[in-house]
């Protein structure tokens, strides 16, 4: 099973702590500045109340996306998804529900699946971000992408980038998943056209061939 957070006991390791996200989300809604509380403060609960204040003006943000450095100027309240799509032109991840309930924006953050709509770009600084574009390219498709094509695991294709990323992480974590484990691994990704069974077949196809 792929969880959105591999280390529930130590959320800071994944850099997508609920607390820093909520701080950011509140600020984004109000279009105000973001008080980014240092991780040591959240982890230690020491009550040191001198957060570094960023924004609301745009700041230069540099992220490592699919192995390349991508830099743009954006308000610190910008979500990772919006930064990828609007600021650095990586449009594989899709904005569908914009609140972490559909998985169309799924990317990998240091190998872990995250909903990029539900975290801030600044929280991804220093992490390896992998979008669907980084899984495989038209000239160099991954085995999973090939299986998606062969099994017709896509219709309109709008959920597909998120599905490909989630399934890639699933197989990375568990190269021989059972059918139920695949279903669980996909449970954060919605498809409206109805490709679930084809996606399961595509994952099983790769898994049988030795992931």
Partner 1 sequence: MPKEIQIKVGFGDQFRDLTVRIQDDDVKPWQPGDRLNLIGQSTPRVDAVAKVTGTANYSYDQKPKGMIYGKILRSPHGNADIVSIDIDKAKKLPGVRAILTAPEIFEDESARYAGAEVAAVAADTEMQAEAALRAIEVEYDIKPHCVTVEDARKEGAPQVGRGEQVNVARISPRQRRGRRGSNSDMDERLARQEAAVGKVIQDSDVVVEGEFSTQVQTHAPLETHGSVCSWEDGRLICWASSQATFGFRNELTSNWGGVRAKSCQILSEYVGGGFGSKFSAGREGVLGALLAKEAGVPVHLMLDRSGEQLSAGNRPDSLQQMKMGVNKDGVIQGTRIRSWGTPGTGTGGAGAHNDGIYNIGEVDKIEYGVRTNTGGAKAHRAPGWPQGAFALEQMMDMAADEIGMDRVEFRKKNDEHPIRKVEYDIAKDRIKWNRSLTRNGGAEICQGLGIASNLWFSAGGGGASALVRITKDGQVEVRNGAQDIGTGTRTVMGMVVAEELGLEMNQVATRIGNTDDPQGPASGGSTTIGTVTPAARLAAFHAKKELMEIVADRKGWDASELDLKDQEVWRIGEGSTGMTFESACALMDDDAIEVLKGRPRRNYEGFSDTNAGVQAAHVEVNQATGAVKVLKVVAVADAGKILNPLTSESQVRGGVIQGVSFALFERRIMDRQKGRMLNDDFENYKMLGSMDCPEIDVVLLDVYNGKSNTQVMGLGEPPIVATAAAVANAVSDALGVRMYDLPITPKKVLEAIAKRDAAKEVPAQKKGERL
Q: Decide if 185 contacts 1 (C-beta within 8 A).
A: yes
Q: Decide if 120 contacts 77 (C-beta within 8 A).
A: yes
Q: Which one, 7 or 197, has the nearer CB to partner 1?
A: 197
Query: Given the structure tokens 């099983």, which residue do they identify?
Result: 204
Element (H, E) at 43: helix 39-44
3-state class (DSSP) for residue 21:
helix
Q: Which one, 9 or 139, has the nearer CB to partner 1?
A: 139
Q: Which one, 102 or 169, has the nearer CB to partner 1?
A: 102
CA 182 to chain centre: 18
Using CB under 8 A as the binding rule, whether residue 92 contacts partner 1 is answered as yes
Q: Decide if 27 contacts 20 (C-beta within 8 A).
A: no
* Candidate segments 12-20, 42-50, 120-128, 179-187, binder of partner 1 by CB under 8 A: 179-187
Among 26, 44, 51, 157, contact with partner 1 (rule: CB under 8 A): 157
Among 12, 59, 110, 196, contact with partner 1 (rule: CB under 8 A): 196
Using CB under 8 A as the binding rule, whether residue 203 contacts partner 1 is answered as no
Using CB under 8 A as the binding rule, whether residue 136 contacts partner 1 is answered as yes
Counting every residue written for the chain, the total comes to: 211
3-state class (DSSP) for residue 20:
helix
CA 173 to chain centre: 16
* Candidate segments 7-15, 17-25, 121-129, 191-199, binder of partner 1 by CB under 8 A: 191-199
Using CB under 8 A as the binding rule, whether residue 32 contacts partner 1 is answered as no
Q: Decide if 74 contacts 24 (C-beta within 8 A).
A: no
Using CB under 8 A as the binding rule, whether residue 181 contacts partner 1 is answered as no
Question: Distance between CA atoms of 176 and 150, rounded to whole angstroms?
Answer: 20
State phi, psi for 130 to the nearest 5 degrees.
Answer: -120, 120
Using CB under 8 A as the binding rule, whether residue 95 contacts partner 1 is answered as yes
Among 71, 176, 192, 208, contact with partner 1 (rule: CB under 8 A): 192
* Candidate segments 2-10, 12-20, 33-41, 183-191, binder of partner 1 by CB under 8 A: 183-191
* Interface residue list for partner 1 (CB under 8 A): 28, 31, 75, 77, 82, 85-86, 89, 91-99, 101-102, 104, 131-133, 135-138, 141, 145, 148-150, 152, 154-161, 164, 182-184, 186-187, 189-200
């Amino acid at each position: 099973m792929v969880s959105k957070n591999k280390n529930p006991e130590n959320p800071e390791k994944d850099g997508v702590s609920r607390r820093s996200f909520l701080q950011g989300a509140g600020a984004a809604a109000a279009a105000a500045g973001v008080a980014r509380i240092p991780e040591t403060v959240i982890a230690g609960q020491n009550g040191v109340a001198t957060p570094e204040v960023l924004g609301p003006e745009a700041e230069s943000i540099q992220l490592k996306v699919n192995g390349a450095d991508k830099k743009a100027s954006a308000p610190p309240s910008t979500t990772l998804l919006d930064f990828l799509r609007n600021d650095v032109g990586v449009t594989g991840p899709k904005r569908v529900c914009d609140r972490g309930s559909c998985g169309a924006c799924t990317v990998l953050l240091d190998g872990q699946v995250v909903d990029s709509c539900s975290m801030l770009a600044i929280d991804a600084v220093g992490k390896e971000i992998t979008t669907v574009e980084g899984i495989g390219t038209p000239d160099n498709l991954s085995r999973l992408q090939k299986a998606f094509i062969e099994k017709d695991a896509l219709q309109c294709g709008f959920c597909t980038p998120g599905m490909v990323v989630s399934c890639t992480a699933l197989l990375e974590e568990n190269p021989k998943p059972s059918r139920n484990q695949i279903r669980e691994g996909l449970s954060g990704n919605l498809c409206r056209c109805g490709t679930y069974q084809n996606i399961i077949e595509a994952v099983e196809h790769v898994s049988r061939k030795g992931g």
